[in-house]
Amino acid sequence: MFSFRTRRPTYERDRVGAIERFDERDNLFAREDLFRYFDDASEARAGYHETHPEHREYDERTAACPGLGRFGGRHEWAHTVPFGFCRDIASERFVDGEPASHRVELSPEEASQRVKQHALSLGADLIGTGPLNQEWVHSYVGRSFGDADGFEPWGRPVDLSHHPHAIAMGFRMDNDLVHAAPEFPTLVATALAYAVSAWVSVRLAAYIRTLGYSARAHHVYNYRVLAVPVAVDCGLGELSRAGFLLTREFGLGVRLGAVTTDLPLVHDGPVDIGVQSFCERCEICAENCPSGSIPFGAKTEHNGILKWKLNEESCFIYWHAVGTDCSVCMSTCPWTKPRTWLHRVVSLAASVKGPHQSLLVAGAKLFYGKPGPPPRERATGMESLRPTRIGFHMRALAVSLVILAVLGVWAGLGAAGGDTAAGRLAAIGWFTAVGYALWLAWTLLGVAVVWTFGAEGERRASWMSAAFFGGVSAAAAWLLVRASAFPGF
């Protein structure tokens, strides 16, 4: 219904110089792999720290840390199984291959439609197509698991110049699990979303190769591109202050996969969903980041682009301390909400640039507050999520029923007095009747909002909205009764 398509990606307004391609050997996981898979004297480890002595101390420190997922207890499998699956299908024979010798001739429109249907039927939640900007292709391979069989060796130059098109896909993370951040369930949400992204991107690339075109999958253990700017170019969302892709549908709670190809496609083009101006006004992720890694204030220049530059090193150290991928920024971002009617309406309003975005930020702070401290005794949290939320849902339902019962008694009293609807209107006048109608609509909207927040397990937001809607409703009712002496009250 509403189109947020724009001709140029929003980062183009922030371009201030030349962009150098990212060397994957500088990726923090790749640097950790140097200690996990290569020995001291190897060309990879010794050579890297000779050319980057400034990274040595940090890399030694993270390499000595225990791994992620160690607080999963008996649920540890919940992240090791999906991540293991990603690794199983990350080698070159899964992500790449020779195209079929016979090429199926397809128009770009038909090809785009087929590709999208295929990916959505396999499990993608968001999909978009765009040009593959070669600036987002890694310059050198950094993740090779110690040059394991089937993987491109560490330090090999990357060339994707034969792929002019990109297909970006978003995979929704489980909202309840993400909102347990920074505890263990959030790592499970990450692992599950990446597993689906690995499966879908590998199958989609294989499908395109059966059509006779070159195609390569990119997923968590074998990206050859920077997934976020590729997704921006394909119109999935925009780069946020937190450094993740922010989507209108799932906020920051989404993981990415991609396929690059020479199959001619219609490009969907980028979107402008108001993220740049929203993030300028909102610093909720920065305020809540436990390691202080997300910058406050204005964007600064980094590699030819003005952006909010995440301190990846302090973030990564925190991951090791807490034993998960943290995700507090993701869970506290006001866009990362379930796709209920309430959040659809609010995200639509948030996507339009303007001063009302400041009001939405203030509302988010008031309604959601700060997340509580992590539990004193570290538990997996997996067992307690559902019962707590369902319990609160039932309380919200009970409150809603009480309000509806009061309205019912009032209507019944009026009817018992022999009034007809027409008689009532004649008695109180049209102007006051409209006032009552608005009051009733407001009250019912309040019930729906309180109920929805309750169902989501958002206690504070539910009580705050009950106070807000209830307060306004009570004041309006008092004014209306004073003004009209409405019979039946």
Q: Which is nearer to ligand SF4, 349 or 426 (CB)?
A: 349
Q: Which tokens go with 473?
A: 């409703």
Closer residue to ligand SF4 in complex, CB, 89/191:
191
Select the residue interacting with ligand SF4 from 38, 184, 223, 335 (CB under 6 A): 335
**Phi, psi (deg, nearest 5) at residue 476:** -65, -40
Residue 104: DSSP 8-state: P
- Listed in sequence order, the DSSP H helices in 290-352 are 312-322, 328-332, 341-350
Q: 156-165: b or e for each residue (b if 16 or more CB lie within 10 Å)?
A: eebebeebbb
Which 384-403 residues touch ligand SF4, going by CB under 6 A? none
Nearer to ligand SF4, 205 or 242 (CB): 242
The string of DSSP letters for 404-439 reads HHHHHHHHHHHHHTT--HHHHHHHH-HHHHHHHHHH
Place of tokens 């018992």: 416
- Kindly state whether residue 167 participates in binding ligand SF4, applying the rule CB under 6 A: no
Token pair 């202080």 is found at 292
Q: Which is nearer to ligand SF4, 72 or 243 (CB)?
A: 243
Task: Decide if residue 477 touches ligand SF4 (CB under 6 A).
Answer: no
Of positions 9, 290, 323, 381, contacts ligand SF4 by CB under 6 A: 290
Of the candidate spans 147-155, 163-171, 236-244, 389-397, the one that interacts with ligand SF4 by CB under 6 A turns out to be: 236-244
Least distance from ligand SF4 to the Cβ atom of residue 47, Å: 29
- Directed axis angle between helix 53-63 and helix 43-51, to 10°? 130
Q: How many chain residues interact with ligand SF4 (CB under 6 A)? A: 25
CA dist 59 → 28, 32, 69 (Å): 8, 6, 20
Closest-CA residue to 133 (of 11, 41, 313): 11
Output the smallest distance, CB 374 to ligand SF4, in A: 12
Any contact of residue 317 with ligand SF4 (CB under 6 A)?
Answer: no
Residue 334 beta carbon to ligand SF4: minimum distance, rounded to whole angstroms:
6
Helix/strand/coil (H, E, C) string of 119-163? HHHHCCCEEEEEECCHHHECCECCCCCCCCCCCCCCCCECCCCCC
Of 282, 382, 450, 455, which lies in the binding site for ligand SF4, with binding defined by CB under 6 A? 282
Asked if 245 is part of the footprint of ligand SF4 (rule: CB under 6 A), the reply reads no
Which of these segments, 8-16, 225-233, 286-294, 432-440, binds ligand SF4 (CB under 6 A)? 286-294
Closer CB to ligand SF4, residue 132 or residue 284? 284
Task: Provide the token pair at 250.
Answer: 């799932």
Least Å distance, CB 350 to ligand SF4, is 8
Taking the complex as a whole, the smallest distance from the CB of residue 335 to ligand SF4 amounts, in Å, to 6
- Let me know: does 174 contact 192? Beta carbons within 8 Å: yes
240 is a site residue for ligand SF4 (CB under 6 A)? yes
Taking CB under 6 A as the rule, does residue 293 contact ligand SF4? yes
Taking CB under 6 A as the criterion, the residue among 326, 428, 450, 455 binding ligand SF4 is 326
Between residues 261 and 327, which has the closer beta carbon with respect to ligand SF4?
Answer: 327
Helix (H) or strand (E) holding 259: strand 254-261
Residues 197, 241 contacting (CB under 8 angstroms): no
Write out the two tokens for 89: 């299908």
Task: Retrieve residue 361's tokens.
Answer: 């930020």
Q: Which of 169, 228, 294, 305 binds ligand SF4 (CB under 6 A)?
A: 294
Tokens describing residue 458: 């958002």
CB contact at 8 A, 87 and 221: yes
Binding window for ligand SF4 (CB under 6 A); candidates: 159-167, 211-219, 239-247, 384-392: 239-247
Is residue 54 packed enough to be buried (19+ CB in 10 Å), middle (13-18) or exposed (0-12)? exposed
Q: CA-to-CA distance for 460 and 114, rounded, in angstroms?
A: 45
Of residues 136, 318, 453, 469, which one binds ligand SF4 by CB under 6 A? 318
- Taking the complex as a whole, the smallest distance from the CB of residue 365 to ligand SF4 amounts, in Å, to 10
- Find the part of the chain contacting ligand SF4 (CB under 6 A) among 98-106, 279-287, 352-360, 432-440: 279-287
Closest approach, Cβ 249 to ligand SF4, in A, equals: 14
Does 250 engage in binding with ligand SF4 (CB under 6 A)?
A: no
Q: Does residue number 315 form part of the binding site for ligand SF4 (CB under 6 A)?
A: yes
Q: Is 285 in the site for ligand SF4 (CB under 6 A)?
A: yes
SS3 category, 485: coil
Binder among 291, 303, 432, 484 for ligand SF4 (CB under 6 A):
291
Structure tokens at 216: 């390569």
Residue 38 vs 244, nearer CB to ligand SF4? 244
How many whole angstroms separate alpha carbon 210 and alpha carbon 207?
5
State which of positions 120-139 bind ligand SF4 (CB under 6 A).
none
Nearer to ligand SF4, 193 or 328 (CB): 328
Helix axes 341-350, 356-368, angle to 10 degrees: 140
The residues binding ligand SF4 (CB under 6 A) are 240-242, 246, 278-279, 282-285, 289-291, 293-294, 310, 315, 318, 326-329, 333-335
